[in-house]
DNA sequence: GCCTAATCGAGACGGTACGTCATGTCTTTAG
DNA sequence: CTAAAGACATGACGTACCGTCTCGATTAGGC
């Protein structure tokens, strides 16, 4: 069922991903879907949870902090090209239109992801400057880090290029070094 | 008609803003709407164009570059609380779900706005470092500048706070200074 | 649309006559049906009104009162074999299960039909005994006349035979003669 | 379970008497019901069999044949106001809509009842005219006797009044006396 | 000042998807 | 080993909008 939803979204887009369509595709009755989820958003959230956790995870240190940071940003940029990333993008889009979706997405995914990002970036900054930044600082740094890439993709709809990634990484490390 | 669309969107949200609803509210026949616009997205784009141009304009220099930059960012953050900002947010959201909307929004609004932002930030950077940056650099700086605020609002759904604005402005000016 | 309903009822029976089926058969959208009727019972009532009026009409005198009476009873018996009669039978059946149907059938058809029957039988009795019976008496005579045939068909499900028709006619005329 | 079905039918009507509802009301699993009956009609038939047999029984002679006949007709009329009578009416109604129900009702109840009616009326006629009528005649008399009352109740939905009952009884006895 | 023609409101139409209900079959769980 | 609980595929329900399509009625503007 989650696969059917995923596939339909990637193939046909969010609007054409109807509950009836998912049911048909999955060879399942509509009622069965309603038994487990209350909307297609709910289904996609479930589909997202597994995939995205992994795709947006912070890798183990493999080079200098700067290198690791740019690598992570590139991974984030690439994520939006994958199926799970398209689901994420669709849910983000729908969250702008519907408060319930916004809340569900926040609580079902974004808050956790924020924690992972804070932990990942916090550790990286500690490696860089020698001491762990406090939580408020880390939060701010996460926004500085992820904002430009998301802006490029979600608002401008453009690809993420090296120059932006490097400038962003540089800005974050400088700000962290204070 | 544009007012009816605007009002409905602010009062009821994007999904409940139907063409039938706009027609009823405006005391107009559905067909009359279809004569001028091909979808509700088109109507909202029209409604957005006027309002947002002004609300997101760059003000004349009024203080140090740093002060002007933080002031502009605060204005951007506040914009999303206004009716026009909600229309913008809805269109941005829908653009994630629908390619046609993405194209229309880009061509009908975002590209122009990008020009205004590049011009505004370019001039400010020139004031700050004494010479005008080239276009590629300005583009990168615009992403660095606007990304974090948009990320906070669109992805996290949270308010924009002073610390983030200041850190962002600082990062942009340092990056501009090289 | 009425034809589609009629046809389906005769071919498939009452339960299989669904609004979706009628819509499909008539090449029409479901909503169009709901615009004009609020249920399939309503549609069938409309379909009945035209056809049955004529089929259950009292013919002009053509023989002795007794002959005319048996002829009419035979016509009533035959009516249930025709499409309109099957619609009537189905509506009568459903009226036993649903108060709204009972009321609608009564007001949309039976009361009128009762008037026609009272007028027809009243005139016949007047021919037979020389004076017009009062309304209460006619009503009672109508029940005596139509009861046995309906009982045979609706309760026993059997055909109407000559002996019953003749006995009924005889009983009615004797009762009328006092 | 039979009680649950009965109660639901009287309280909520035939359509609202669902197998799910009966199961819930009886604190039983749907499957358990399907083990014993193949439809709600089957359940109601079972529920009917006991009650109606008694309610529609012919009483011992207690007065003149005419008095006994009107008394029986009144009892028949009153029966439709009782719970068992409502079940009978519902089954009769459904039998008009569904051939299987018609057959089941006939074989499960009506044929037996017909025998009882023929025996009861036959005996009464014998008391009245001194000799036992043959079976064909009795059948015809039963139709003459029960038709008007059923017509009043099932078709017109009205109450049975004294005048009708007396006229019917008179007509039957005269026809029997021939 | 009249008359064509464009434009408007109203709303019917064929569709698609919605979310709900009951069906009859089936599997799982607990006594 | 039975029976409760309830998941499942199916299919109709009645509703909401979609975008297209006639309809008059009402304005204009060109004669």
Q: Using one digit for the tens of pLDDT, what is the confidence trace for C121-130?
A: 999 999 999 9
Question: What residues contact A73, with CB distance under 8 A and at least 6 apart?
Answer: A145, A149, A160, A165, A168, A169
| CA-based nearest residue to C147, from D68, D48, D98, D165 | D165
- Taking alpha carbons only, the member of B48, B51, B47, B70 closest to residue B59 is B70
Judge residue C53's burial from the number of C-beta atoms within 10 Å of its C-beta, 0-12 exposed, 13-18 middle, 19 or more buried.
middle
Position B22 confidence tier, pLDDT thresholds 50, 70, 90? very high
CB contacts of C152 in chain D (<8 Å) are 143, 147
Asked whether residue B51 carries a pLDDT value surpassing 90, the answer given is: no
Q: What is the pLDDT of residue A50?
A: 80
Mean pLDDT value of segment D120-146: 96
Confidence at residue D150, expressed as pLDDT on a 0 to 100 scale: 98
Cα–Cα dist B99/D68, whole Å: 85
Q: Tell me what pLDDT residue C178 has.
A: 78
Q: What percent of chain B has pLDDT over 70?
A: 100
**Residue C22's pLDDT band (boundaries 50, 70, 90)?**
very high
Within chain C, residue ranges assigned H as helices are 2-12, 19-26, 30-36, 40-55, 65-79, 83-97, 99-105, 111-129, 135-150, 162-177
Please give the pLDDT value at position B3: 86
CB contact under 8 A, B93 and A89: no
> What residue in A sits closest to B107 (Cα-Cα)?
A156
| Confidence at C24, pLDDT banded by 50, 70, 90 | very high
Q: What does the pLDDT read at residue B169?
A: 98
**Res B178: pLDDT:** 79
Q: Are B143 and A148 in contact (CB under 8 A)?
A: yes
Whether residues D97 and C13 touch (CB distance < 8 A) is answered with yes
Tens of pLDDT, residue by residue over C46-77, are 999 888 999 999 999 999 999 999 999 999 99
* pLDDT reported for residue D50: 79
Neighbours of chain B (3+ CB pairs under 8 A): A
pLDDT by 10s per residue, chain A, length 178:
899 999 999 999 999 999 999 999 999 999 999 999 999 999 999 999 888 999 999 999 999 999 999 999 999 999 999 999 999 999 999 999 999 999 999 999 999 999 999 999 999 999 999 999 999 999 999 999 999 999 999 999 999 999 999 999 999 999 999 7
Q: Which domains does chain A have, with CATH numbers?
A: 52-177 (1.10.357.10)
Q: How far apart are CA B147 and CA D142, in angstroms?
A: 92
Q: Give the Cα separation of B134 and B136 in Å (integer).
A: 6
pLDDT at B4: 86
Q: Which two tokens stand for residue B76?
A: 């951007």
Find the mean pLDDT for residues D11-40: 92
User: Taking a C-beta distance cutoff of 8 angstroms, is the pair B24, B82 a contact?
Assistant: no
**CA dihedral of A110, A116, A120, A125, whole degrees rounded to 10:** 60
Distance A74 CA to F12 C1' (A): 51
Whole-angstrom distance, CA of residue C114 vs CA of residue D144 = 20
pLDDT at res. C60: 96
**Token representation of residue C31:** 């909503």
CB B17 within 8 A of CB B5: yes
- CA pseudo-torsion sign A118, A123, A125, A131: positive
pLDDT class of C7 with cuts at 50, 70, 90: very high
pLDDT at A83: 94
Short-list B133, B139, B142, CA closest to B178: B133
Q: Model confidence at D49, in pLDDT bands (50, 70, 90)? A: confident
The rounded Cα D88 to chain-centroid distance in angstroms is: 6
The partner residue sitting opposite D102, judged by closest CB among C15, C140, C157, is: C157
Does residue A20 lie within 7 Å of nucleic acid chain E, judged by its CB?
Answer: yes
* Nearest Cβ partner for A97 among B94, B140, B164: B94
Share of chain C above pLDDT 90, in %: 96
pLDDT value at residue D37: 92
Question: Do the chains contact at C154 and D92, CB–CB below 8 Å?
Answer: yes
Check pLDDT > 90 for residue B159. yes
The answer, yes or no, to whether residue B132 has pLDDT greater than 90, is yes
CA pair distance C128, C122, nearest whole angstrom? 10
Shortest CA gap B16–chain A (Å)? 10
């Amino acid at each position: 069922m989650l696969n059917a939803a995923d596939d339909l979204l990637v193939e046909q887009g969010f609007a054409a991903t109807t509950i009836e369509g998912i049911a048909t595709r999955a060879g399942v009755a509509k009622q069965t879907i309603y038994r487990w989820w209350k909307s297609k958003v709910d289904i996609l959230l479930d589909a997202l949870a597994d995939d995205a956790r992994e795709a947006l995870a912070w890798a183990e240190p493999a080079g200098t902090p700067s290198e690791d940071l740019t690598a992570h940003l590139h991974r984030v940029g690439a994520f939006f090209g994958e199926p799970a990333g398209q689901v994420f993008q669709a849910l983000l889009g729908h969250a702008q239109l519907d408060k319930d979706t916004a809340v569900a997405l926040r609580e079902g995914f974004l808050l956790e992801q924020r924690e992972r990002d804070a932990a990942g970036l916090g550790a990286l900054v500690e490696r860089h400057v020698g001491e762990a930044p406090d939580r408020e600082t880390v939060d701010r740094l996460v926004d500085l880090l992820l904002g430009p890439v998301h802006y490029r993709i979600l608002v401008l709809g453009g690809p993420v290029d090296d120059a932006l990634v490097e400038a962003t990484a540089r800005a974050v490390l400088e700000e962290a070094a204070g």
